[in-house]
Amino acid sequence: MFCYQCQETAMGTGCILKGVCGKISEVSNLQDLLLFVVRGIAVYNERLREAGTPCEEADKFIYDSLFVTITNANFSRENITEKIKAGLQLKRELGKRVAVDNAPDECLWDGTEEEFAEKAETVGVLRTADEDIRSLKELVHYGLKGMAAYAEHAGNLGYKSAEIFAFMQHALVQLTRTDIGVEELIGLTLETGRHGVTAMAMLDAANTGAYGNPEISEVNIGVRNNPGILISGHDLKDLEELLQQTEGTGVDVYTHSEMLPAHYYPQLKKYKHLAGNYGNAWWKQKEEFESFNGPILFTSNCIVPPRSNASYKDRIYVTGACGLDGAFYIPERKDGQPKDFSAIIAHAKRCLPPVGIESGTITGGFAHAQVTALADKVVEAVKSGAIRKFFVMAGCDGRMKSRDYYTEFARRLPADTVILTAGCAKYRYNKLELGDINGIPRVLDAGQCNDSYSLAVIALKLKEAFGLDDINRLPIVYNIAWYEQKAVIVLLALLSLGVKQIHLGPTLPAFLSPNVTKVLVEQFGIGGISSVDEDLVKFLA
Ligand code: SF4
Ligand code: SF3
């Protein structure tokens, strides 16, 4: 195996024996093979689209499979093998509908399951010899994975975009080319960012269309005395259906990690048995799931495969793009019917209530509409000097000790600064007592990682309010923590909006070659982080 798609990659260079995330070599290779098949499907479907007859099943298969290969979503050998078989079948059918001249191996190869392992070893990241081409191809691939995740969540709410599907497939086709050069790939990277903005805007429209605009909300972080189901990941449709099916059953629903912002939506917070948020960011789940006592549902990343002796091992349910051997899989919706959560609800009823690990509340709900409603107050606070600077500290959390930097940085920011956040990065500082400025909390949580879109909208609104011609003249510093590939699409989206001087930590991506890093530094002023002391001086200057 060779995988270097996330921030925790082994030795900061690449996982080669087993993933730090727990992904075994065989599964990593199968994911590479799935992506190879997906690229072949994209070639056929692009031709069909040109002919005006794109295959919808292929659109869905492509974004779903990209999502499956995102860090910490799917660890199941069986599930990914089945997906490859389904992909090969789909590819055969598409091949009957359209001819492709000079078809790449991605189109031509059609092996049996016995041949998967051998083929998989030849189609991964290292298939590309040139390190800069490889770096840019993977950068685009990872951006597409993030975009696919957002397309899937929006799709679950009935929002689809032919433009996004066309772009994703166009980009995948470009990635099959062995003659593509650095300049073309840089152009493709920027285009990926532009379409990332569209995908995030679409998901924002889907979420707010279905559940209303997030509003300032207090979320309980303690527990009640009923059995509970803990729901993790990012899919709000799954949560809504679970809430509907648990209503009146005596089972409470708690959110975990990236599901926390569900509490900010009027149409989700109205459920009285949406009891609170349990625990912290994804990487703490091994200890926190023990004491939850009830079943846990993963609707997307981040899963940490449990230890063999974990008490909660038989309480894990997965759905959507998730996969974990030994976990109970809840099938997709069919014929417009909701998913069937009866098994997990019955399971919860047999369990003890959760044991509390915290108490009190946290506040969030500062997505773009809510912040816009407060715009006058915010602008006034900036003009009067009460707010000196905003720090966008969105992104991901992770288990590396070096991420203590973000807690320390937040703690030591002066009292006239405000943190704008989104994603699970917030768990590094959202329970600190950082106070408020004239009633504006010093940590404004816009939501999940995909709601980073809100932060961009807020920046554009502030630019307008201050009559500036350049988004980079706002008093905003970007100090972003990344981990997986959704952070990659967020980064590319911000670059496409013209945001410069983004600081990325705790380490720069291993998949950026020295030359590609140089381009990002020269063209966009991207930089890493250093010590809290140094960065505070530098960023406040
Ligand atoms: Fe390693 Fe990250 Fe890939 Fe997992 S996803 S195998 S930790 S680089
Ligand atoms: Fe977190 Fe996995 Fe990225 Fe959605 S849940 S931000 S890491």
Residues 317-337 as b/e (b if ≥16 CB within 10 A, e otherwise) read: bbbbbbbbeebbebeeeeeee
- Ordered by start, the domain boundaries in the chain are 10-210, 217-332, 368-540
Compute the C-alpha angle 191/193/196, nearest 5°.
115
> Does the domain spanning 217-332 belong to CATH 3.40.50.2030?
yes
Backbone angles phi, psi at 422, to 5 degrees: -165, 150
Tokens (6 digits) for 527: 């930089």
β-sheet bridge partners, residue 391: 419, 477
3-state SS class at 318? strand
What does each C-alpha distance from 475 to 192, 341, 370, 439, 490 come to in angstroms?
A: 27, 47, 20, 20, 20
* Host H or E run for residue 106: helix 105-108
What does the mean pLDDT of the chain come to?
A: 97
Distance 449 CA to ligand 2 centre (A): 7
Third-level CATH fold of 368-540: Rossmann fold (3.40.50)
CATH assignment, 10-210: 1.20.1270.20
Distance, CA of 28 to CA of 121 (rounded, Å): 10
Give the DSSP letter string of 427-446: GGTTTS---EETTEESEEE-
Give the DSSP letter string of 223-267: --SS-EEEEESS-HHHHHHHHHHHTTTT-EEEE-GGGGGGGGSHH
Distance, CA of 329 to CA of 327 (rounded, Å): 6
Residues belonging to the binding site for [4Fe-4S] cluster are 3, 6, 15, 21
Distance, CA of 221 to CA of 360 (rounded, Å): 6
Distance, CA of 71 to CA of 424 (rounded, Å): 14
Same CATH fold, 368-540 and 217-332?
A: yes
Site to substitute for ligand 2 among 232, 449, 455, most atoms within 8 A of C-beta: 449
Q: Which atom of ligand 1 is least distant from the CA of 15?
A: 1
Residues 211-222 as b/e (b if ≥16 CB within 10 A, e otherwise) read: bbbbbbbebbbe
- Burial category of 240 from C-beta neighbours within 10 Å (exposed 0-12, middle 13-18, buried 19 and up): buried
pLDDT in tens, the chain (541 residues): 999 999 999 999 999 999 999 999 999 999 999 999 999 999 999 999 999 999 999 999 999 999 999 999 999 999 999 999 999 999 999 999 999 999 999 999 999 999 999 999 999 999 999 999 999 999 999 999 999 999 999 999 999 999 999 999 999 999 999 999 999 999 999 999 999 999 999 999 999 999 999 999 999 999 999 999 999 999 999 999 999 999 999 999 999 999 999 999 999 999 999 999 999 999 999 999 999 999 999 999 999 999 999 999 999 999 999 999 999 999 999 999 999 999 999 999 999 999 999 999 999 999 999 999 999 999 999 999 999 999 999 999 999 999 999 999 999 999 999 999 999 999 999 999 999 999 999 999 999 999 999 999 999 999 999 999 999 999 999 999 999 999 999 999 999 999 999 999 999 999 999 999 999 999 999 999 999 999 999 999 9
The ligand minimizing its distance to the Cα of 398 is 2
Distance 240 CA to ligand 2 centre (A): 20
pTM (2 decimals)? 0.98
Distance 482 CA to ligand 2 centre (A): 9
Nearest CA owner, ligand 1 atom 5: 71
Site to substitute for ligand 2 among 70, 277, 301, most atoms within 8 A of C-beta: 301
- Assign residue 435 a region (left: φ > 0; alpha: ψ between -120 and 50; beta: otherwise): left
Distance, CA of 128 to CA of 135 (rounded, Å): 9
* Residues contacting ligand 2 via CB (< 6 Å): 72, 257-258, 282, 301-302, 396, 423-424, 448-449, 483-484, 486-487
9 lines ligand 1 (CB under 6 A): yes
